Structure 1
Amino acid sequence: MTAQPPEPSPRPAPSGELRASHDDREAVVEQLRDAAAEGRIGLDELDSRLEQALKSRTYGELAALTADLPRPPSPEDRPPLVVKGGMLGASLGPGRWEVPRRVVAYGGVGGVKIDFTRVECRLPEVAVEAHGEISGVTVVIPDGWAADAGGVEPGVGGLKDETTPDRLPGTPLIRLTGSGGPGGGVVVRHPNHRERRKLHGNPSQR
């Protein structure tokens, strides 16, 4: 019996033919609104493009609406966010703030606290370089997020990883590097009881 040749594999769909999600359409809507605010497109054209964006089904249809606009900066394009404790200390959060791909924290004399509990982050991974120095650096992550503190040199100040390994799908991994320093060290944890009370008491700010 003559062997039959294998059937050809289905041709993969070009990226422009892939179906777009609600988030993809919303991202284009925001880009169009920003372009109008910058004077790149007029209000009538904005209305027309917004209507088309909301009706678009594929990446290709969405791309055509922004092809003549500058690409918006992504978190990967942004420089590291540097936080210095100084003499009085510094805090990043709680509250909504735009998470870059990399954060660098220096505890200084006053210490630094980085609180991710109310942020929205679509990055698969965020690098946090923490240097405890005198008063330390504390990193607070929501339940369901995970941290990898294997890149931190404990030093005299030490390292405390009080997080759970139960990472939910779609949440970022916080990858820590740096050093504990001579003082407060580096702490990464989930919210404590006081912080949880504040979260539940202000649900609109989550």
Structure 2
Amino acid sequence: MTAKTPEPAAWGELRASHSDRDAVVEQLRGAAAEGRLDLDELEERLEQALTAKTFADLAPLTADLPRSASVLDPGEPLVLKGGFHGAARTGRWRVPAHITAHGGMGGVRLDFTRTECRLPEVEVEVYGEMAGVTVIIPEGWAADTDGITTGTGALRNKTTPDRLPDTPLIRLTGSVGMAGVVIRHPNARERRALKREQGK
């Protein structure tokens, strides 16, 4: 009998990375500089942030703080063109507030699952064209596809509407073209890979 694959961990149970902890530390220090935290509060929260194991450990430390301007920097717009060989943005990369993806002949793949986006909203302007565009967002992120115009291809939105606090809304605009546009959460294989990485 084949063993059942364990379910992926819930968002709060996922292991926090060094950069996750560093981002919280930066926000706490900024809040103290603005007078939102006194020195005792800052010291206590910094200690908790530096020893945090999971996102559930980190989240309460900044839940009562506004986001700083530096965290909300929209960044330079990103343009990806599939061309003949395709294009992709995967792994750890900085997410700007606006992304344009042209499927072309080779297709485009946008994978947000390893990013650390703190923007409240990201506009992804997609043009499916001949090979299509695939967008992968983490569990807990939500998508709005009302801005996409139809074409000969299909729009397949396989995401759930359940959006966790402090996660971005991915707002899709553009057109599906001939090959279509897919937006989804990680599949079982991708979830297993993520879980292996976070267990290191």
Identify the TM-score tier after normalising by the shorter chain: 0.5 to 0.7
Percent of pairs with identical residues: 54
Which runs of structure 2 are paired with 1:102-117 in the superposition (5 Å)?
102-117=98-113
Superposed CA deviations along residues 74-100 of structure 1, whole A, max 9, x for unmatched, are 632x3310011111111111x110000
Do residues 146 (structure 1) and 121 (structure 2) align? Answer: no
Q: Which residue of the partner structure matches residue 73 of structure 2?
A: 75
Q: Which residue of the partner structure matches residue 195 of structure 1?
A: 190
The alpha carbon displacement at 1:105 in A equals 0.2
Is contact 1:101–1:125 with CA below 8 Å preserved after alignment?
Answer: yes
Is contact 1:75–1:99 with CA below 8 Å preserved after alignment?
Answer: no
Q: Which residue of the partner structure matches residue 171 of structure 1?
A: 167
TM-score, normalising length: structure 1 = 0.64
Looking at structure 1, the residues matched to 72 and 163 of structure 2 have their Cα atoms a distance apart, in angstroms, of 24
The alpha carbon displacement at 1:201 in A equals 2.1
Looking at structure 1, the residues matched to 112 and 150 of structure 2 have their Cα atoms a distance apart, in angstroms, of 22
Superposed CA deviations along residues 164-192 of structure 1, whole A, max 9, x for unmatched, are 0000011000000010002x211100001
Q: Which residue of the partner structure matches residue 125 of structure 1?
A: 121
Query: How many matched pairs?
Result: 146
Do residues 89 (structure 1) and 92 (structure 2) align? Answer: no
3-state DSSP of counterpart to 1:198 = helix
Give the superposed CA RMSD.
2.5
* Structure 2: segments with no counterpart, 5+ residues: 1-23, 37-68
In 2 relative to 1, CA 204–92 (structure 1 residues): closer, same or farther, beyond 3 Å? Answer: farther
Q: Which residue of the partner structure matches residue 38 of structure 1?
A: none
Q: Which residue of the partner structure matches residue 16 of structure 2?
A: none
Do residues 185 (structure 1) and 173 (structure 2) align? Answer: no
The residue type paired with residue 168 of structure 1 is L
In 2 relative to 1, CA 204–119 (structure 1 residues): closer, same or farther, beyond 3 Å? Answer: farther
The residue type paired with residue 180 of structure 2 is G
3-state DSSP of counterpart to 2:32 = coil
Is contact 1:138–1:188 with CA below 8 Å preserved after alignment?
Answer: yes
The residue type paired with residue 113 of structure 1 is R
In 2 relative to 1, CA 114–25 (structure 1 residues): closer, same or farther, beyond 3 Å? Answer: same
* Structure 1: segments with no counterpart, 5+ residues: 1-20, 29-55, 62-70
